[in-house]
């Protein structure tokens, strides 16, 4: 399983001018890779993540997931792709207040297909592996910030997605919880052999990543 961006460009119109958000970006993330992208606000990091997750189409260039060019998919197929092949972890956990921890995951499964007993057991095992086995029937307001973000991690993995995209997953956490969350993402990525990209401002988290890229003015370069 792999994510490959080849010579990707993305331009936006702003009034009479054109903003080049991504400039000839190329990136390969293989199964089991956990890479980070750092850089200042407005440098193009989130645009790259949105294109990798099929939320935006590139102006030019190719985006390949397991060899399939998602830029050539129809909208209906793209919706299915986003649900089954991509797991998103966002800055805030975005949990649904009236659903229990377990039901947060089962709702995502239900969007894909009918939920089976096997699906329920997989969701429970995911939550248990993230230290939430005792919290299955708790509601979001009964969890700490770190626990809510761990539920969001489990939700990203529950459809067994090939690609995991994390956008500032530690932004709302203190240092201890931030380290805990990134270590958990890495553990799940490695253990389940996923291709993962994390956008972050927090350079303390980079020690957990296999490679670090820097984005500046739409240009991506390998840092280590």
- In order of their start, the domains of the chain are 2-222 (3.40.50.300)
Sort residue 112 into left (φ over 0), alpha (ψ -120 to 50) or beta.
alpha
**pTM of the full predicted structure?**
0.89
Q: CA-CA distance, 61 to 56, in Å (whole number)? A: 13
Altogether, the residues listed in the chain come to a count of 224
Residue 216 has pLDDT above 80, yes or no: yes
What token pair was written down for 118? Answer: 């096997």
- Of residues 143 and 114, more confidence is placed in 143
Report in angstroms the alpha-carbon separations of 182 from 20, 45, 172, 194, 205: 31, 18, 13, 15, 7
The rounded Cα 18 to chain-centroid distance in angstroms is: 28
Please check whether residue 196 is in contact with residue 34, taking contact to mean a CB–CB distance below 8 angstroms: yes
Residue 112 has pLDDT above 80, yes or no: no
96 confidence band (pLDDT: 50, 70, 90): very high
34 forms bridges with which residues in the sheet?
Answer: 196
Residue 106 has pLDDT above 70, yes or no: yes
CA-based nearest residue to 194, from 223, 165, 168:
165
**pLDDT tens profile 162-173:** 899 999 888 877
Residue 179 confidence (pLDDT)? 87
**pLDDT tens profile 4-28:** 999 999 998 888 888 889 999 999 9
Counting residues of the chain whose pLDDT is more than 70, the rounded percentage is 100
Residue 224 has pLDDT above 70, yes or no: no
DSSP 32-96: T-EEEEE--TTSSHHHHHHHHTTSS--SEEEEEETTEEGGG--HHHHHHHHHHHEEEE-SS----
Residue 196 confidence (pLDDT)? 95
Q: Which residue has the tokens 């407005």?
A: 42
Residue 132 has pLDDT above 70, yes or no: yes
């Amino acid at each position: 399983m792999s994510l490959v961006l080849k010579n990707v460009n993305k331009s936006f119109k702003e009034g009479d001018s054109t903003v080049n958000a991504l400039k000839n970006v190329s990136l390969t993330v293989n199964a089991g890779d956990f890479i980070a992208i750092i850089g200042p606000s407005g440098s193009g990091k989130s645009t790259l993540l949105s294109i990798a997750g099929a939320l935006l189409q590139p102006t030019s260039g190719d985006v390949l997931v397991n060899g399939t060019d998602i830029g050539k998919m129809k909208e209906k197929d793209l919706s299915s792709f986003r649900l089954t092949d991509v797991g998103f972890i966002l800055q805030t956990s975005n949990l649904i207040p009236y659903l229990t921890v377990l039901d947060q995951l089962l709702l995502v499964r239900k969007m894909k297909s009918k939920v089976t007993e096997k699906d329920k057991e997989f969701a429970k095992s995911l939550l248990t592996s993230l230290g939430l086995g005792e919290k299955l029937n708790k509601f979001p307001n009964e969890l700490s910030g770190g626990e809510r973000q761990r539920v969001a991690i489990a939700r990203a993995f529950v459809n067994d997605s090939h690609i995991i995209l994390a956008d500032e997953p530690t932004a709302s956490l203190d240092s201890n919880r931030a380290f805990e969350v990134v270590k958990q993402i890495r553990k799940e990525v490695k253990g389940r052999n996923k291709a993962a990209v994390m956008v972050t401002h927090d350079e303390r988290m980079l020690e957990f990543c296999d490679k670090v890229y820097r984005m500046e003015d739409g240009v991506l370069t390998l840092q280590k």
